[in-house]
Amino acid sequence: MLTMKDIVREGHPALREKSAEVEIPIREEDKTTALALLEYVKNSQDPDIGPKFGLRPGIGLAAPQIGVTKRMIAVHVEGEDGELYSCAVINPKITSHSVQMTYLESGEGCLSVDRDVPGYVPRYAKLTVKGYSPDGEPVEFKLKGMPAIVFQHEIDHLDGIMFYDRINKENPFQPPAAVPFGR
Ligand code: SB7
Ligand code: NI
C-alpha cells in the first residue's frame, strides 16, 4: 500500500516530465500501479485508515506523483448530484471541453506540494475524458463541478504541469472570466 513516503515532492523531476502513454493491452504491472493509486485516494479519505497511516487526504493522485511517469490517474470524488467518481483511468485524454471556465474558490492543493499556494486556478467548466479502465475497457466521463476540476488537475500532472503554473502571477485572486465553484 502507498503512503506519504511514496509520494514525491516538488523538485523531483517526475513532476515536470511528460508522462508516456501506457501500452494497450495493459500489462499487469501497469494495472497494479493504477490500482495502487486508487487505493491511496480511497484510504486517504477513510476515517480509520487515513489517520492510522498518516495519509494526507487526497481526492486524486497521478502516477508521476509516485515517481512513475506513465499516463495513469486515480480519483475518488463526489459530484454535485452525489454521484461518486471512484476510478483509475489509464491514458486519460480530454476529447472535448466547454469554452466556459471555472475555478475552485478555495484554490487547489497538491500532495506533492508541502506549502499553501493561494490563488485561483482556471479550469474548463465541463469536459469529456476518454481512456481505459485498469481492466482495459474503454471508458468515457462527462464531467462538471469538482470531478471536472480534479480530472484536469491530475491530467496536468501527466504533462508536467503543476496547479500553480495556472495561477495569475500578478494577481492570484484575479477572478478568471469564469463561473466560480465551491464555497
Ligand atoms: C484540489 C485538490 C486536488 C485537485 C483539485 C483541487 C487534488 C489534490 C491531490 N493531488 O495532489 C493530486 O494530484
Ligand atoms: Ni496534485
Average pLDDT for residues 142-170, to the nearest whole number?
98
Please, how many CA atoms are within 13 Å of residue 170, restricted to the half-sphere of its CB?
3
Could you tell me if 89 and 70 are in contact, meaning their C-beta atoms sit under 8 angstroms apart? no
pLDDT attached to residue 114: 98
- For residue 153, report the distance from its CA to the centre of ligand 1, in Å: 6
pLDDT attached to residue 150: 98
Give me the chain's average pLDDT, please: 97
Using CB distances shorter than 6 Å, the residues near ligand 1 are: 58-62, 65, 104, 108-112, 149-150, 153-154, 157
**pLDDT above 80: residue 178:** no
Residues with catalytic function: 154
Under the banding of pLDDT at 50, 70 and 90, the label for residue 135 is: very high
- Inter-CA distances, 111 with 22, 32, 60, 162, 170, Å: 23, 21, 9, 11, 25
Share of the chain above pLDDT 90, in %: 95
Determine the atom of ligand 1 nearest the C-alpha atom of 149: 5
Ligand sitting nearest the alpha carbon of 56: 1
Is the N-terminal amide bond of 118 cis, ω within 30° of 0?
A: no
The reply to whether the predicted model has a pTM over 0.95 is: yes
Average pLDDT for residues 92-117, to the nearest whole number?
97
**CA–CA separation, 59 vs 76, rounded Å?**
5
